[in-house]
């Protein structure tokens, strides 16, 4: 396994930039989706507004799922 794959398997990758702060990369499947949507828009198979809407929908879904799972975890912690 290469270093990038090992880093991804151990958790989210965080990149620190001086003056900007820390950026956390999304999961590998999300990066693949973003790259695929960008490629399809760049070669003209889909229009760029459709690609932007698809990417925003994906990111909102991930954000909501994360919040929902966090809520479930907090509720389970309260039951202990």
Can you give the pTM of this predicted structure?
0.59
**Tens of pLDDT, residues 12-68:** 778 888 888 888 887 788 888 999 999 999 999 999 999 989 888 887 777 666 665
Question: How confident is the model at residue 4, as a pLDDT?
Answer: 64
Q: How many distinct structural domains can be found in the chain?
A: 1
> What pLDDT shows up at residue 63?
67
Domain membership of residue 37 as a residue range: 3-79
3-state secondary structure the chain: CCHHHHHHHCCCCEEEECCCEEEECCCHHHHHHHHHHHHHHHCCCCCHHHHHHHHHHHHHHHHHHHHHHHHHHHHHHHHC
Average pLDDT over residues 65-75: 62
């Amino acid at each position: 396994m290469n270093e990038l794959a090992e880093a991804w398997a151990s958790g989210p990758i965080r990149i620190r930039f001086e003056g900007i702060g820390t950026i956390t990369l999304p999961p590998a499947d999300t990066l693949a989706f973003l790259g695929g949507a960008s490629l399809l828009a760049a070669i003209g198979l889909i229009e760029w507004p459709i690609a932007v809407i698809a990417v925003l929908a994906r990111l909102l879904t991930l954000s909501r799922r994360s919040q929902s799972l966090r809520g479930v975890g907090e509720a389970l912690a309260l039951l202990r």
